[in-house]
């Protein structure tokens, strides 16, 4: 059949269709939000209460905040500042501490994937930023996570230049190993592990990258050098130690396993105990 312009080629008709959507989404939840507001890193912050009205259970948590912010802007007030970008759970930008949990009460999802059907009408929802010394607040709910980048810069790579590498299929990697490396590599660097930890430890994040490379043949040449530099940077940033409570694993939106930390510790101690000479020879050891 041929395509025709149907009788809805006007904005008027389009509005009719969007009205259908509104009916469909049936927004009738009302909530109270207790939100952390803080102008900048230098100023003290405080909780401020807001009403979120006419909320649909089909909205994502961030879309609910969009509605509240639209209301604030209409009143000429500063909208609530929060980090977000892809809104499909992969960029790692969103970072809200909701009712005492990083990324909210549901397991294995990010804040942007949390939907309002998880909450009930009349509920009070507390929203805070990630709280950890190495993640200073920039404004309201947005924090500075550049410490994570600096840890990756210290050694989270395989030192190969562009070009001159072997054919991809010259390196055979058993499927189980490749799959396990993938499971570690799936970390989105959101920082929920740090926010969940009473010690603000970043060991789940750091170990995931170390484990990805220590499993793969490509990561072997720099294996012990890498673990030392990344751990040193992690310590320099002021992240705490791991005391094996496992909150990080429980709250990780990508379900990164605690065994990554065990693997990192093994490599770290191997490097410290047995590899110092070799690393010194390469000029890569710690002092």
> Considering only residues 192-221, where is the footprint of another protein by CB under 8 A?
212-213, 216, 218-219
Report, in Å, the least distance between residue 245 CB and another protein: 26
Looking at residue 34, the DSSP 8-state letter turns out to be E
Which residues within the stretch 50-69 sit at the binding site for another protein (CB under 8 A)? 56, 58-60, 62-64, 66-67
Question: Judging by beta carbons within 10 Å of its beta carbon (0-12, 13-18, 19+), is residue 118 exposed, middle or buried?
Answer: middle
Q: Is 25 among the residues that bind another protein (CB under 8 A)? A: yes
Which residues within the stretch 167-196 sit at the binding site for another protein (CB under 8 A)? 167-169, 171-175, 178-179, 181-182, 185-186, 188-189
Q: Is 12 among the residues that bind another protein (CB under 8 A)? A: no
CA 43 to the chain's CA centroid: 25
Q: Report which of 79, 84, 32 is spatially closest to residue 62, judged by C-alpha positions.
A: 84
Task: Using alpha carbons only, give the angle 80, 81, 85 rounded to the nearest 5 degrees.
Answer: 125
Q: How far apart are CA 167 and CA 165, in angstroms?
A: 7
Which listed residue (90, 258, 262, 279) binds another protein by CB under 8 A?
A: 90
Candidates 77-85, 199-207, 235-243, 265-273; binding stretch for another protein (CB under 8 A): 77-85
Size of the site for another protein (CB under 8 A): 95
x/- letters, 94..113, toward another protein (CB under 8 A): --------------xx---x
Q: Is 163 among the residues that bind another protein (CB under 8 A)? A: yes
Report, in Å, the least distance between residue 170 CB and another protein: 9
Report, in Å, the least distance between residue 261 CB and another protein: 19
**139-151: burial string, b at 16+ Cβ within 10 Å, e else:** bbbbbebebbeeb
Looking at residue 87, the DSSP 8-state letter turns out to be S
Give the contacts of 137 (CB within 8 A, at least 6 positions apart): 38, 40, 41, 45, 129, 143, 144
Report, in Å, the least distance between residue 265 CB and another protein: 21
């Amino acid at each position: 059949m041929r395509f025709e312009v149907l009788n809805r080629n006007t904005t008027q008709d389009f509005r009719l269709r969007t009205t259908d959507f509104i009916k469909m989404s049936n927004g009738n939840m009302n909530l109270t939000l207790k939100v952390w507001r803080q102008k900048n890193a230098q100023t003290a912050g405080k909780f401020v209460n807001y009403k979120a009205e006419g909320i649909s259970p089909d909205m994502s948590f961030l879309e609910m905040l969009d509605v509240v912010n639209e209301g604030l802007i209409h009143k000429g007030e500063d909208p609530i500042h929060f980090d977000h970008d892809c809104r499909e759970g992969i960029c790692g930008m969103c970072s809200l501490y909701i009712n005492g949990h990083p990324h909210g009460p549901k397991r294995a999802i990010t804040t942007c994937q949390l939907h309002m059907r998880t909450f009930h009408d009349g509920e009070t929802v507390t929203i805070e930023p990630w709280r950890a010394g190495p993640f200073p607040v920039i404004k309201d709910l947005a924090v500075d996570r550049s410490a994570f980048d600096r840890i990756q810069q210290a050694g989270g790579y395989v030192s190969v230049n562009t070009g001159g590498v072997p054919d991809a299929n010259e390196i055979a990697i058993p499927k189980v190993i490749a799959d396990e490396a993938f499971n570690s590599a799936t970390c989105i660097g959101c920082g929920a592990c740090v926010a969940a930890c009473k010690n603000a430890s970043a060991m789940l994040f750091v170990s995931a990258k170390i484990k990805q490379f220590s499993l793969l043949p490509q990561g072997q040449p720099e294996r012990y050098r890498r673990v030392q530099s990344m751990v040193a940077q992690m310590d320099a940033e002021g992240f705490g130690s791991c005391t094996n409570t496992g909150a990080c694993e429980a709250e990780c939106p990508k379900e990164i396993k605690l065994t990554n930390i065990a693997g990192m510790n093994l490599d770290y101690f191997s490097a410290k105990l047995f590899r110092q000479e070799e690393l010194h020879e390469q000029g890569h050891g710690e002092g």
